[in-house]
Chain A
Amino acid sequence: DAKTTQPPSMDCAEGRAANLPCNHSTISGNEYVYWYRQIHSQGPQYIIHGLKNNETNEMASLIITEDRKSSTLILPHATLRDTAVYYCIVRVTGRSNYQLIWGAGTKLIIKP
């Protein structure tokens, strides 16, 4: 079962910041939060991941609350090409591997 909860869809105006929320209230202390996105008819693409601290890379910023029960992915200047399904994922530790537990994601639509 998915360990994350996301809104099913969101809109954002082109050029504005897109803020995508995610709840992961049952996350354990050693479990990472990952974000991937999937553009229509393509495979998922890695965006960013974090454990406790806020993270930033060339694509996005990840803000994790102090209690780690929720996080927000920020796309600072959304473009039409950012229209995609965004997945917030918890990486759990199995017996011999790490596993990404995917939910249904948020469909983000960037409007001109």
Chain B
Amino acid sequence: EAGVAQSPRYKIIEKRQSVAFWCNPISGHATLYWYQQILGQGPKLLIQFQNNGVVDDSQLPKDRFSAERLKGVDSTLKIQPAKLEDSAVYLCASSQAGGTEAFFGQGTRLTVV
């Protein structure tokens, strides 16, 4: 079975620019997560979707971050405008509804200069 696909793999942008990341979860997985992982730290949940609805976005900086999952399948995370402290790996994960195991993609490494 194909895993969670993310693109791009790497991105370098200047501060105040905008950037978007794409995620295609495992087929049939209703739950999709976006995490931010700063170097040396564990992942931090930004947003969780159940199908195309938001379940938890309490840690998403909504003044600059947005995410959507319009058809309940793939998802896009956007940052506008980017700050230096947004430099991190952005991980997408998916799981079956009520599932106990989340499957992660390889992540997108963002560097803001």
A residues lining the B interface (CB < 8 Å): 2, 41-46, 49, 87, 89, 94, 96-97, 99-100, 102-105
Known contacts A43-B104, A49-B100; is A99 also within 8 Å of B43 by CB? no
Determine if A102 and B43 form an interchain contact, defined as CB atoms under 8 angstroms apart: yes
B residues lining the A interface (CB < 8 Å): 4, 40-45, 48, 50, 55-56, 91, 93, 100-107
How many A-B pairs have beta carbons closer than 8 Å: the answer is 43
Determine if B100 and A44 form an interchain contact, defined as CB atoms under 8 angstroms apart: no
Main SS at interface, chain A: loop
Determine if A99 and B56 form an interchain contact, defined as CB atoms under 8 angstroms apart: yes
Determine if A43 and B105 form an interchain contact, defined as CB atoms under 8 angstroms apart: yes
Q: Identify the closest chain A residue to B56 (Cβ).
A: A97
Q: Which of B56, B102, B106 contacts A42 (CB 8 A)?
A: B106
Point out the residues of chain A lying under 8 angstroms from B56, CB to CB: 94, 96-97, 99
Determine if B91 and A44 form an interchain contact, defined as CB atoms under 8 angstroms apart: yes
Determine if A41 and B42 form an interchain contact, defined as CB atoms under 8 angstroms apart: no
Point out the residues of chain B lying under 8 angstroms from A94, CB to CB: 56
Known contacts A102-B42, A104-B42; is A43 also within 8 Å of B55 by CB? no
CB distance from B32 to the nearest CB of A (A): 12
A87 to B42 Cα, complex, angstroms: 8
Known contacts A96-B55, A97-B48; is A46 also within 8 Å of B102 by CB? yes
CB distance from A105 to the nearest CB of B (A): 6
Determine if A2 and B42 form an interchain contact, defined as CB atoms under 8 angstroms apart: yes
Point out the residues of chain A lying under 8 angstroms from B100, CB to CB: 49
CB distance from B29 to the nearest CB of A (A): 13
Determine if A43 and B4 form an interchain contact, defined as CB atoms under 8 angstroms apart: yes
CB distance from A97 to the nearest CB of B (A): 5
CB distance from A100 to the nearest CB of B (A): 7
Determine if B91 and A43 form an interchain contact, defined as CB atoms under 8 angstroms apart: yes
A97 to B41 Cα, complex, angstroms: 23
